[in-house]
Chain A
Amino acid sequence: MAYTAKDYNKLIGMEGFSETLLKNHFTLYQGYVTNTNKVLDSLSEMAKGGKIGTPEYAELKRRCGWEFNGMRLHELYFENLGGKGALNKSGKLGKKLAEEFGSYENWEADFKGVGAMRGIGWAILYQDAVSGKLINQWINEHDVGHPAGCNPLLIMDVFEHAFMTDYGLKRADYIAAFFKNIKWEAVEGRLK
């Protein structure tokens, strides 16, 4: 059961994202798909070959969380891009954000604040599947800080490759461009 890279070429032309940046980003994404498959294959080979108690097995198992999330988060990210226009504030998500954060604007300020944190990773609006609560989460690199079993709604990449080619060190400008291109229907569709 190998994972296959999806095609996000439809995003090329998005305002504020150069073709070079997007194409590099797709290539990086494909690398995560390839390497998720590689790691999973090697792990199952090792399991079959009775090599479960080895450091090689342990380190690949650790790496699996990084590669898998590198794949999945990029899919969620590209899929919540390519939209036009702002969130419908009287829709289900708009209401829920206002309920949880006091106002849509408060939520946005908090989400952007997470995205501006010093470090390499992702900002994710998560819905706690148990309580329904919404939380903006910092994910370090791809794998650290995911709340167990929660539902990722809006995903923003803040690795340097996500903006440096177009914005240099101006991460805030990239975040503003990201917000102009959010596909809110997709985000809303993820609500449970």
Chain B
Amino acid sequence: MKSFSIDRRQFLFMSGIMGITLIAGEPETSIPKTQAEEKMTYNAKDYNRLIGMEGFSETLLKNHFTLYQGYVTNTNKVLEALGQMLKEGKVATPEYAEMKRRLGWEFNGMRLHEFYFENLGGKGSVSKTGKLYQKLVESFGSYEAWEKDFKATGAMRGIGWVVLYQDILSGKFINFWINEHDGGHPSGGMPILIMDVFEHAFMIDYGLKRADYIEAFFRNINWTETEKRLLLHKG
């Protein structure tokens, strides 16, 4: 029987991207929070180092960071409101149900932006001797075939993301279209390369020319980062 295990390096990486930081906040309500709850607040990370990247204006990046921070704030807000409703016995309400539905959208809006900014800021193309290159050739026949499929997914009519996912069980690589932030994630999959194709990701710099943005994105991929995300235990 196959079992899922992660090595230490993978664990450290995964806890790193979880972005959970220890902060001691004052409880805002009369119902006291547990210690664990106080610690579970997401903090926005700083991606200002990306400013200056070729093909991305400072205005676009700064707006994008602000939008990202909005997702962090709202993930915290939604989680907090849900926790509050739970304590107050309001779980059987439409308000609870709708907040719970919205959680997937806000959380992924936060997390995908982190993956996205973290796989940017690189120079040069994928290392042909690296594991990722090898994997892409195995899954798609050639690196070029993968790139063509990834870009075509990114050019799809709609608002969302393209994610190169590694299936956690089989290790297989698949380019997925994610609608908005939450529609279509493969359960348990490991996101390897993430490209934002919301209009805010390109319109200020490229107008309607999404293909030009995608080219600029490819020139700035941080391949070293994507390489680190690979589930190495999968062959």
User: Residues of A at under 8 Å CB distance from B?
Assistant: 20, 24, 27-28, 31, 35, 66-67, 118-120, 141, 159-161, 164-165, 168-169
Which B-chain residue is minimally distant from A20 (CB atoms)? Answer: B207
Query: Which of B67, B198, B203 has a CB less than 8 Å from the CB of A169?
Result: B67
Min Cβ gap B152→A in Å is: 15
Q: Lowest 6 CB-CB distances: which A-B pairs, in order?
A: A160-B199, A160-B200, A161-B199, A120-B159, A169-B63, A164-B203
Chain B residues within an 8 Å CB radius of A165: 203-204, 207
Query: Which of A27, A67, A118, A161 has a CB less than 8 Å from the CB of B203?
Result: A161
Min Cβ gap B122→A in Å is: 26
Residue among A20, A27, A35, A168 with max Cβ neighbours from chain B (10 Å): A168
Given known A35-B157, A120-B180, A141-B159, contact A164–B200 (CB-CB < 8 A) = yes
Min Cβ gap B143→A in Å is: 28
Query: Which of A28, A31, A118, A160 has a CB less than 8 Å from the CB of B198?
Result: A160
Chain B residues bordering chain A, tally (CB within 8 A): 19
Q: Is B125 an interface residue (CB 8 A)?
A: no
Bound-complex Cα distance A160 to B200 (A)? 6
Min Cβ gap A48→B in Å is: 25
Chain A residues within an 8 Å CB radius of B67: 169
- Contacting residues of chain B (32-74) with chain A, CB-CB under 8 angstroms: 59, 63, 66-67, 70, 74
Q: Is B208 an interface residue (CB 8 A)?
A: yes
Chain A residues within an 8 Å CB radius of B159: 120, 141, 159
Bound-complex Cα distance A135 to B157 (A)? 30
Bound-complex Cα distance A17 to B208 (A)? 17
Contact assessment for B63 and A160 in the assembled complex, using a CB-CB cutoff below 8 Å: no
Chain B residues within an 8 Å CB radius of A160: 198-200, 203
Q: A24-B207, A161-B203 are in contact. List 18 more A-B contacts (CB 8 A).
A: A20-B207, A28-B208, A31-B157, A35-B157, A118-B70, A118-B106, A120-B159, A120-B198, A141-B158, A141-B159, A141-B180, A160-B203, A164-B63, A165-B203, A168-B59, A168-B63, A169-B66, A169-B67
